[in-house]
Structure 1
């Protein structure tokens, strides 16, 4: 790994969904070789515990709605560390290339003549499907998989192509969608998606307190009511994630518990 990680280089590393066992072997080696690690708020203590005590850890926030550093400041910190001859890891939750704003960091580093490389990670949608024993695609019913971010500026409506997203042969993986759940359901149904389309809400994916909540699209706003602002959540929508029969299920990290939810689901 030493020949891959020269001083003055920045690696954008995917931390995966949270379980340290889901880190790639390459990510773990990069963390061990780093002089300094800039990490996002969604990167948990179990991942950070893998970093050498001799390595400097710098939290840079980047959690939906609560950014401790703006993107420009993060770019500047990465460039300064690399120019000082450090082996720099920029540790991002999930996969750096999926809603990780990697392009902004890559462009800034490249403009400063700093070598930058990417180590991919397992994204939350893949981890959620694995935890629930589900598939993100389904032969004959779900031929497409669409990743969407539901993050919008305060007070602004989501600017999405609802007609395209309402296609019945697609699975939607909606990141940062808890706060906009009611708006998402309303717009998808208005655009033609069936109200009884299966949905799955994944909370704290891959962690000991993980929850998987199943229901239907028309009840999405109700399904997310018990989810805290501080709990990362992902919405999966489509027939590929349908529960067996008509039973609604909630799974937790301590095992599976079947529950009958209210008639409004």
Structure 2
């Protein structure tokens, strides 16, 4: 093969399921290439005297066959595809030569232009594989892998958020997707959640979902406000369930956009059960829970080596002395780790009193983060003894996350 051939590469997708692939070299190149080969179902033989810990772990787990030795002529027998990835140029050249003689396509990691195949910049989104190869004015010698990676990333990102290809997808599948929108910042919704939003006919949105994303929806999308304002106007859960069922049965693609994660104090399972009982297809898209993300964004780790080995997330919408409470506050007070309270602004005083009464020290650090991850985020620091008064004095309102424990005093943003 001419190294300066001006002819472009011929793109093709290799079907490697059950077929032998030989990878020579156990370094970082192997570590990067192996997952995709295994995902394609290839029977991979690794030839290398040494390997990185991650590659060795794949061999130990039986995912690959590892020949712990240097490459020798004949190793490509019965192979369908090969990768020359050693740190010795002469060895790589010999591997390519054998591949040429055996009519085996071979990628050469240290000098791609001297191989018989190239590895494209590859990405995947919603069942679509994007593979990008570039070449300059002089063919193979002008390949630009950085440009290929940049183009791949741009295409995959647009496929992921639904801004590319959403209108060409054809008929949508009726059903409901319970999408966790994350803590509020629109950039913190998952790629899958954003893509489903772009494909929706109807969006039933909570107040705590990422509101900015609603403005990006096409004009034909119907947005239904299912806001549950604490201690104020609310749409009954039964009415929300009925709306979801109605639109799904009418053949529409429905997204139930919720704050945080659908199953973390989000009543997502109630909705899923009702939809399943009505024969409606349900997809659950997990979201980033505010219980972890909001403290993190405010500079508070919910766990920290030598400080907290556990964290507990509790709903504070019911006071400790309320007969409906399912929380063992006595046990919580005895824990030494981090306590994260959601929906606890109204009952913060009662909760702090219960924890103190059962042994949690008065000087336990407390941080209250209102509207975490949003432009309006603010943090108020206190102790367990002063938290309720500080929250009232600072006019803290929902949504807010309360973090109790020594982790509050960890990090550069600690008081």
Q: CA deviation at 1:104?
A: 0.8
After superposition, where does 1:103-122 map in structure 2 within 5 Å?
Answer: 103-122=269-288
Q: CA deviation at 1:131?
A: 2.0
* Contact 1:31-1:50 at 8 Å conserved across structures: no
Distance in 1 (CA, whole Å) between partners of 2:173 and 2:335 is 50
* Contact 1:150-1:158 at 8 Å conserved across structures: no
Aligned equivalent of 1:179: 346
Q: CA deviation at 1:73?
A: 0.8
Structure 1: state its 5+ residue gaps: 250-265
Q: CA deviation at 1:67?
A: 4.4
Structure 2: state its 5+ residue gaps: 1-125, 127-165
Change (3 A) 1:80 1:143: same
Q: CA deviation at 1:139?
A: 2.3
Report the structure number with the largest CA radius of gyration: 2
After superposition, where does 1:68-83 map in structure 2 within 5 Å?
Answer: 68-83=234-249
* Contact 1:168-1:238 at 8 Å conserved across structures: no
Partner of 1:128, secondary structure, is helix
Distance in 2 (CA, whole Å) between partners of 1:158 and 1:227 is 27
Aligned residues: 245
Aligned equivalent of 1:24: 190
Distance in 2 (CA, whole Å) between partners of 1:242 and 1:164 is 23
**CA offsets per residue over residues 74-123 of structure 1, 9 Å max, x none?**
11110111000000000001111100001110110000111111111111
| Greater share of helix | 2
Aligned equivalent of 1:208: 375
Partner of 1:134, secondary structure, is coil
Change (3 A) 1:244 1:139: closer
Distance in 2 (CA, whole Å) between partners of 1:237 and 1:164 is 15
Aligned equivalent of 1:169: 336
Instruction: Say yes or no: does 1:194 pair with 2:361.
Output: yes
Aligned equivalent of 1:52: 218
Partner of 2:301, secondary structure, is coil
Aligned equivalent of 2:308: 142
Aligned equivalent of 1:235: 402
Q: CA deviation at 1:6?
A: 4.5
